[in-house]
Amino acid sequence: MKWTRVLTVVFIIAFFALFMFLPLYTVIAEGLRWAYIVEVFKSPFYVQGLINCFYIGVVVTILVFLIAVPLAFIADRYDFAGKKWVTGMMLLPMILPPFVGALGFTQIFGKMGALNSLLTALQIVPDGGGPDWLAGNGRFFVVCLVEALHLYPILYLNTSTALGNIDPSLEEAAQNLGSSAWMRFRRITLPLIRPGLFAGCIIVFIWSLTELGTPLMLGYNRVTPVQIFNGVTELGSNPLPYALVFILLVVAAGLYIVSRMLFGQEGHAMLLKGAGTGGSSRLSGWKSLGAFLPFLVVTLIATLPHLGVVLLSFSRDWYRTVLPSVFTLDHYAMALSHADVVRSIRNSLIYSGTAMFVCVAFGVAIALLTVRWKPRGWQIFDILSMMPLAIPGIILAFGYLSMTTRYEILSRIMNPIENPTLLLILAYAMRRLPYVVRAASAGLQQTPIDFEHAALNLGASGWTALRRITVPLITANLIAGALFAFAFSMLEVSDSLILAQTNEHYPITRAIYELSMILGFGPYVACAFGVWAMLFLATTIFVATRLLGRKIGAMFRF
Amino acid sequence: MISIRLQGIEKSYGTTPVLQGIDLEIESGELFFLLGPSGCGKSTLLRIIAGFLPATGGRVFFGDDDVTRLAPERRDAGMVFQSYALWPHMTVFQNVAFGLEIRKLGKAEIERQVMETLGFVGLEKLRDRPIPQLSGGQQQRVALARALVIQPRVLLLDEPLSNLDAKLRLDMRAEIRRICKEAGLTTLYVTHDQKEALSMADRLAVLDNGILQQVGAPRDVYRRPINAFVADFIGESNFVTGRISRREGAAAEIESPWGILHSTTVADSLAPGDPCLVCIRPESIRFAANGESLPNTLTMTLRHATYLGEIGQWGLEIHGQHLKAFEMQPPTRTVDQEYRCSIAPADAIVIPADTTTAAASQSTS
């Protein structure tokens, strides 16, 4: 057992060294060149990109804060009819890829789109005379809106967990001492949830700052991630994207470190506790409806882009009307018969399926290491395994790309232009590893060590105890974690867009992007394909939630 | 059958000592109890014997076999966990069969032995039940069967009855003793429940603050506690300080604030002039009949009376000190009235005063 443990540690370290630190190092080594950085800041084109994505980050974080925090408070403080249902729906946007939703928004907000048609129908604007919502700053705000509607569950979960972890007696004690509601909030509640709030905001900010799929699909091209993506193919003649990635990395890492330094300890302690209940008061009648409605409205708005996608996918023609004029199933048939589509499904299944197994193997190993074996310095592995959450996908993907060009030996084994399979699998696995680690760790923490001791006591070896007792007991967690890893890999955007460069190796998301670029029927087929993908994702997530029970929230906490 | 021998077991976490120089021999076939308050180190000692924790120093022997460095899975020490640790994903049968499967027995043989053991604990009919559907008492028996079926060299029980309700606990005491004795196992039973220990043990050891305070048969430990901690932990005790004024063999006269006390139960180490502690069990205080003149007859004032049915629990006061007394079939007695009470010299247990302070300071440290 001792040697197995040493070997496990070696494998884990090698995995992180090769597929997290080496790409990051490459990004730094290639990007940290003074000349490049100066060049970037001299170019108004790139500076504008950086400013724009910074603005996106700020606006999205504010929007998310405004949506998520009040709702988290309502859910924590009050019980009302349908609460379980609407609070469950709050997680829905997590599983609706904004990348696909953006397709829907393009239609809805287009000059001849559904919104203007609605306004025309209501006789607010003349036919064909509605504003182009996507022109000027409109496109910027639509990007922000789509991202905010995708990311608010993160802050919602962080806030509700932080609130749930507050022992109600802490506030009761303040009340008992005569403190008013506002005073209690300011002096007791807010300081206690601040780490959770802050951590959630930081993650939302980093995610929106580095998001590639949404601005790309909405055609908002003057942001750094899209500029990086567009530069990937001509890195030989223009190395500036290296510097851009480096700058993004510095910003993301800087923010992450600041948040850890400010709230690291407390924020982490929160992870281990389960969300508690208590201290909520029951609402009825109009008050109950008043608490229910905001949830419903937010959920409806959040699903709007995807409803748009669904409608688009069924429509033969959707132009100058509120709803499509003619419905058809042709796009679905086409989506599943198109050669590129079929191949991309096969590719995605291979990439994501293999990534899932890699994730489970490393996830279980890391969970065992950090929950059970706890060798000296085990905390490092805990931090390591959560790091992929803080590293934006575009940075890691770009790191993979540049490491295969920088090191000849790597370019021979895993050249993304010849065959990106291995790189994509590893990128997917690395990015989704935290979910599996978390699921497996939660399982181990809930399984008393005595179960394993009892097996050892009866003469079972450590390995047998693991195989016969521990693994069966945490199977539900493992399956759930694996499904998450699988489902999110299937709809992974930045890795797929950057690493898959040839037609025959496109995964689903890249295929959707390529389809949407085809004029005419392209967007419709892309939508139909997107609906297939969402159905698939929804089913997987549904099964996973069933297996995980109410621990689902724990998967998305940071 | 095989003995368990502990030689100078030490355990500390950082600089905090948990066990200090534990020497103990549990004879083969003996039902031995390790008794102590929570946090005294008893479960730690059990886990060291089972092999789940490494000792900081000392050795563990099963018979002549030094098992100190042996992995837990190679010790052949059946253990019943406080939580039972029954695997919830297996049935009763699968739980019990596990150890035999590890030992690579044939299918038929496993079936035979498991059923035999389940019969032994009276659970044959529940063989295919999932664990969560069992009552506490049934789970307890499965845990016992699982440990017994492998015919372990020694049996280790970690507070096995603490999760059962009071009535069931009484039934299971006799049941566990019967099973251990019939199987002829050397058993180490850890508990904080002194009644459990007194009623079941062949011998017991009292552990406090990582030090073995006293080892002996239940009756001896109860009748002749070695220090104030043991006297107070095993049963209840009233204490009065004093000084030995005369000593003849096991008998002595003690000067105390209550006057001269006579005892025939005196620690060997005490000589005239030594400070001492007289320990009097509540049931040893007798109300004297009128005109009766017995040694150690004292006048006490009744301050509190609690009627508990079969016994009366009295709060008595003498020279400002409060005592507790039990009386079977209690008559009606009047509070704040003076009564003449006596203590038989054999029931006045005299222990050295310094061990008291040692034990007392240990228990507060």
Q: What is the pLDDT of residues B251-281, one digit of tens each?
A: 899 999 999 999 998 988 888 999 999 999 9
In sign, the C-alpha dihedral spanning A375, A380, A382, A385 is: negative
Nearest CA in chain B to A452: B85
Nearest CA in chain A to B89: A473
pLDDT, tens digit, 9 for 90 and up, residues B317-329:
999 899 999 999 8
CA distances, A86 to each of A79, A545, A554, B147, B186 (Å): 12, 16, 18, 49, 60
Contact present, A78 and A283 (Cβ < 8 Å): yes
Assess whether pLDDT exceeds 50 at residue B2.
yes
Which pLDDT does position A169 carry in this prediction?
67
Mean pLDDT of B238-243: 93
pLDDT, tens digit, 9 for 90 and up, residues A488-526:
888 888 888 888 888 888 998 888 888 888 767 777 888
Which pLDDT does position A54 carry in this prediction?
93
Assess whether pLDDT exceeds 50 at residue A201.
yes
pLDDT > 70 fraction of chain B, expressed in percent and rounded:
97
- Reported confidence tier of residue A485, pLDDT bands at 50, 70, 90: confident
Query: Which one-letter DSSP state was computed for residue B288?
Result: P
- For residues B322-342, one letter each, b for 16 or more C-beta atoms within 10 angstroms of the residue's C-beta and e for the rest, the string is ebbbbbeebeeeeeeeebbbb
State both tokens at B145.
């069967």
Nearest CA in chain B to A470: B87
Query: With an 8 Å Cβ cutoff, is A466 touching chain B?
Result: no
Are B87 and A473 in contact (CB < 8 Å)?
yes
Mean pLDDT of A190-199: 82
Which pLDDT does position B358 carry in this prediction?
39
Mean pLDDT of A332-344: 80
Are B102 and A464 in contact (CB < 8 Å)?
yes
Determine the Cα–Cα distance for residues A60 and A201; give it in Å rounded to an integer.
Answer: 10
What type of residue sits at position B257?
Answer: P
Lowest mean pLDDT of A320-329, A398-407, B314-323, B336-345, name the range: A320-329
Which pLDDT does position A550 carry in this prediction?
52
Determine the Cα–Cα distance for residues A363 and A365; give it in Å rounded to an integer.
Answer: 5
Query: With an 8 Å Cβ cutoff, is A453 touching chain B?
Result: yes
- Chain A CB contacts of B83 under 8 Å are 448, 450
Assess whether pLDDT exceeds 50 at residue B16.
yes
What type of residue sits at position B117?
Answer: T
Could you tell me which of A352, A320, A305 has the C-alpha nearest to residue A527?
A305
Contact present, B91 and B97 (Cβ < 8 Å): no
- Reported confidence tier of residue B363, pLDDT bands at 50, 70, 90: very low
pLDDT > 90 fraction of chain B, expressed in percent and rounded:
59
Which pLDDT does position B364 carry in this prediction?
32
Mean pLDDT of B200-218: 94
Tell me the range of A28-37, A115-124, A236-245, B30-39 where mean pLDDT is highest. B30-39
- Chain A CB contacts of B79 under 8 Å are 453-454, 457
Which residue is listed with tokens 């399979």? A421
pLDDT, tens digit, 9 for 90 and up, residues A347-382:
998 999 999 999 999 999 999 999 888 888 888 888
Determine the Cα–Cα distance for residues A212 and A224; give it in Å rounded to an integer.
Answer: 9
Residue A473 neighbours by CB under 8 Å, 6+ apart: A443, A447, A451, B87, B88, B89
Q: How many CB atoms lie within 10 A of CB A227?
A: 22
Element (DSSP H or E) covering residue B305:
strand B297-307
Residues written for chain A? 558
How many CB pairs (< 8 A) connect A and B? 64
Assess whether pLDDT exceeds 50 at residue A534.
yes
pLDDT, tens digit, 9 for 90 and up, residues A118-140:
777 777 777 766 777 777 778 88
**Cα angle for residues B265, B266, B267 (degrees, 5° grid):** 130
Q: Which of A453, A461, A464 sits opposite B52 (nearest CB)?
A: A453
Looking at the complex, report in whole angstroms how far the Cα of residue A447 sits from the nearest Cα belonging to chain B: 10
Could you tell me which of B95, B100, B92, B192 has the C-alpha nearest to residue B135?
B92
* ipTM for the predicted complex: 0.73
CA distances, B346 to each of B193, B224, B287, B351, B354 (Å): 26, 10, 16, 13, 22
List the end-to-end C-alpha distance of chain A, in Å, as a whole number.
33
- Chain B CB contacts of A465 under 8 Å are 73
Determine the Cα–Cα distance for residues A154 and A91; give it in Å rounded to an integer.
Answer: 9
3-state DSSP percent of chain A in helix, strand and coil, to 5: 80, 0, 20
Residue of B86, B102, B114, B158 for testing the chain A interface, max A β-carbons within 10 Å: B102
State both tokens at A432.
């989704």
Assess whether pLDDT exceeds 70 at residue B355.
no
Query: With an 8 Å Cβ cutoff, is B160 touching chain A?
Result: no
DSSP-assigned beta bridge partners for residue A282: A79
- Chain B CB contacts of A467 under 8 Å are none
What's the predicted TM-score (pTM) here? 0.74
3-state secondary structure of B318: strand
- Reported confidence tier of residue A172, pLDDT bands at 50, 70, 90: low
- Reported confidence tier of residue A554, pLDDT bands at 50, 70, 90: low
List the end-to-end C-alpha distance of chain B, in Å, as a whole number.
39
Question: C-alpha dihedral over B152, B157, B163, B166, to 10 degrees?
Answer: 110
* Average pLDDT along chain B: 89
- Reported confidence tier of residue A549, pLDDT bands at 50, 70, 90: low
B84 alpha carbon, distance to own chain's centre: 20
Mean pLDDT of A4-33: 90
Which pLDDT does position A127 carry in this prediction?
72
pLDDT, tens digit, 9 for 90 and up, residues A229-263:
888 877 777 888 888 999 988 988 888 788 777 76
Which pLDDT does position B303 carry in this prediction?
94
Which pLDDT does position B365 carry in this prediction?
30
State both tokens at A132.
């182009």
Element (DSSP H or E) covering residue A297:
helix A285-314
Query: With an 8 Å Cβ cutoff, is A412 touching chain B?
Result: no
Determine the Cα–Cα distance for residues A211 and A394; give it in Å rounded to an integer.
Answer: 8
Which pLDDT does position A64 carry in this prediction?
95
Assess whether pLDDT exceeds 70 at residue A552.
no
Lowest mean pLDDT of A101-110, A418-427, B231-240, name the range: A101-110
Which pLDDT does position B356 carry in this prediction?
43
